[in-house]
Amino acid sequence: MNATVRVSVVALMCLAAAACAKKQEVKAPPPPEAPTTTTAPTTEGAFTPADLQSNACLRTRVIYFDFDKSDIQSQFDNIVACHAKYLRDRPMARMTIEGNTDERGTREYNLGLGERRGNALASALEAAGASADQIKVVSYGEERPVCREHNESCWHQNRRDNIVYTTE
């Protein structure tokens, strides 16, 4: 089975599961503990494609969000700065930001929230010097969870932007 068919089958299964899931009203939980930040951006020399795998800051490609929020938290400033510097140093580099949400809320609301989260990261990268032409934003809403349990810890893992670099 080729990759396109597999992706289509998985997407249909996720849509079917989401359609069958019973939506519950949930009060906003207390904020989860913030992840620690990684190495500050390198200011000397230009990043190379090899740095995507060797530099701890560039290997961090997930930005997490609070419940029902789309603003970038200050604890991720170093990560945003690293990726913006990489894009400045590598004008041919391209990035896709995948906006994701947890399962709470309607499908339409979550797609919009995922897009707002992706656009918030794109704006932060552009403010740090990256070019808008290098960045593409895609929202997956609740369709691509990394955790499928129904608790705050799991929902926190699903409220994220994934940074995906494409070939230069």
Question: Is position 42 within any domain?
Answer: no
| φ, ψ for residue 66, nearest 5 deg | -75, 165
Question: Is position 44 within any domain?
Answer: no
CATH number of the domain that residue 132 is part of? 3.30.1330.60
Question: Is position 121 within any domain?
Answer: yes
C-beta of residue 121 within 8 angstroms of C-beta of residue 93: no
Domains: count for the chain: 1
| HSE-up (13 A, CA, CB side) for residue 49 | 9
pLDDT-derived band at 6, boundaries 50, 70, 90 = low
pLDDT for res 18 = 52
More confident: 166 or 43: 166
pLDDT for res 42 = 45
Question: Is position 85 within any domain?
Answer: yes
Q: Which domain holds residue 127?
A: 52-168
pLDDT at 164 over 80: yes
pLDDT at 25 over 80: no
Measured on CA atoms in the order 77, 83, 87, 93, is the torsion positive or negative? Answer: negative
Query: For the chain, what is the radius of gyration of the CA atoms?
Result: 17
Question: Is position 107 within any domain?
Answer: yes
pLDDT for res 45 = 79
Residues 82-126: pLDDT tens digits?
Answer: 999 999 999 999 999 999 999 999 999 999 999 999 999 999 999
Question: Is position 149 within any domain?
Answer: yes
The dihedral region occupied by 103, where left means phi > 0, alpha psi between -120 and 50, and beta the remainder, is: alpha
Question: Is position 18 within any domain?
Answer: no
pLDDT for res 75 = 94
